[in-house]
Structure 1
Amino acid sequence: MTQAARCFLAIAEAGSIRKAAGRLNLSASSVNRHLKQLEWHLNTPLFDRVPTGMRLTDAGKLLVAELQTAEQRFARLANDIDSLKGLKQGHISIGVVECFGREFLPEILTELRRDFPGLSIDVHIERNSVLTEKLLAGTIDLALGFDLPEFPEFRTIADYHIPVGLVFSPSHALATADRLPPLSDCLKQDLLLPEKSFGLFQTLEHVAATAGIRLHPAIVANSIESLKTLARNGTGITFLTALDVYDEVTRNLLCFHPIESNIQLTEHLRLCVNAHRDHSHVEEILAPRIGRDLRRVEQRLFDFLQQPVQM
């Protein structure tokens, strides 16, 4: 901000040139000279000289508002620059679910390290329940997980709905069928399901209950990787998200078929921070950047789902 602008704001706040000069540690003649220069530059009086002191004109009131806004913007800019410096030289801890950590996270981390070479990163590949605990405890700065709880401590930076589909081996009988059986019939087959603590199991259980079916899975596992291996071996069929099987389907190791049902089958993927902790550099710079990368991933998944079903 120029000296003339500082003098103007001081006069507006103090109500007189003499008081403004005292606050600025300048002579009254110097403050008055700066004011006259500003009025000459704007070609309009900024104060009315009245017996009680200096009273802002309408033009002066507009200038006060503009200068105060500029001060606030500059303060935010200075804070952003400080945050950026902290990010370039700092540390961040990210927690993600298994499927994202394997396929998409390495690409994002490579770009982050390229753009912020001084940034060190801890990566936690965890289940949703553990991500929730770690974000609450402050062990991680960011959590990306499915159906994270709607806790008041969590602030959502970005969220996406990832389709759930039927997953089976290319050698499975379903792969050569003219069309897939109804969802209710699929739920009666040899099911490979995640354990009950997984949000996906709860979603499927709700769908089954709506159809009047009780789930009797052949195998229950606490690992998505194990379920994919079992499905690939032809042991049974499973239900997973497009994110879980993106790599295997693109390499023709598994088939993925979106579910046709009256109930929309999706898993809610959320990127969250702990709202009660100071994450200025994370929220203002890094989280929007990761959110942008996630939108790119979402587009890749959309393109992936538009491809002909592997049958």
Structure 2
Amino acid sequence: MYRAHSTVATPSWFSIIAALVAVMLWSAAPLLAALAHTSSPLQLTALTLLAGALATLPLSRSVPMARLSKGWQASVWLGIPLLIFGAVSSYFVGMRLAPAAEAALITYTWPVVFVLLSQWSRLRTLRLSGVIGALIAFSGAALLLLPQALNDGLGGAANGYALALLAACCWALYSWLGQTAPVALTPLLPRLLLVACAIAAAASLLVEGSPKALSSEALLAGIALGLGPYGIAMVAWDKALRLGQASIVGSLAYGVPILAAALLVVAGMSVLDWRLPCAAILVVVGCCSAGRRDG
């Protein structure tokens, strides 16, 4: 999942192409998760994170962790894997309990949460643009949920929406830690994903029991999730931000909610309804508003 960087460089076609690759792969995540619906969610989480760790191995580098305080070492080696596990597993479970497109859209409000958290940690206050962006983005989510809630209640889907919001909060905290950590986390990503995979495997054994054989479709979808959205996409995004201008490259990521919803509709996993594209646009506008600086 993407996060903001402060790298400033001359924009290049390579950085734009790399960013578009990452955006397309992230947009495919809800569709791939829906295709793997026959698998147990925690087992799917472990498989996805293992594939992601293997896909990001080229990023692995040694990092001087010994000079960090004990608190930061614990945050990196335990806190971040727990957040990754929480984000991915909550996302997968949420999409089982609620409609996939709506749950995915709620998860994609995480950049707004990240902006608010970042502003508060740096300034001890919230910028007006951040508050307005949050209101716009969450009004998109409300546009999807309120009609159902007013008519016959959310029912079991309420738990799915809550888990999707939990996934958003986990990604926001992960990104905030990545921004404030005293060392670069990208070279540690393969090992962090492996630790998160071990946590997911242990949770699967405790909650879901012995591993079950996956269907070929679920197995391929799980591997694709790890190799793509949680693997190659992270590598491509890292390259794009280091070789291009962060403000230009970062703006491309706001198209993820719209593309993700479109893929689900085209694949027949979601019904096209006027509220879905309108909500996706509101989430994108909210993210853009929250991310811009006040004049």
Q: Please, what TM-score do these two structures have when normalized by structure 1?
A: 0.26
More strand by share: 1
**Which of 1 and 2 has higher RCO (CA within 8 Å, sep 6+)?**
2
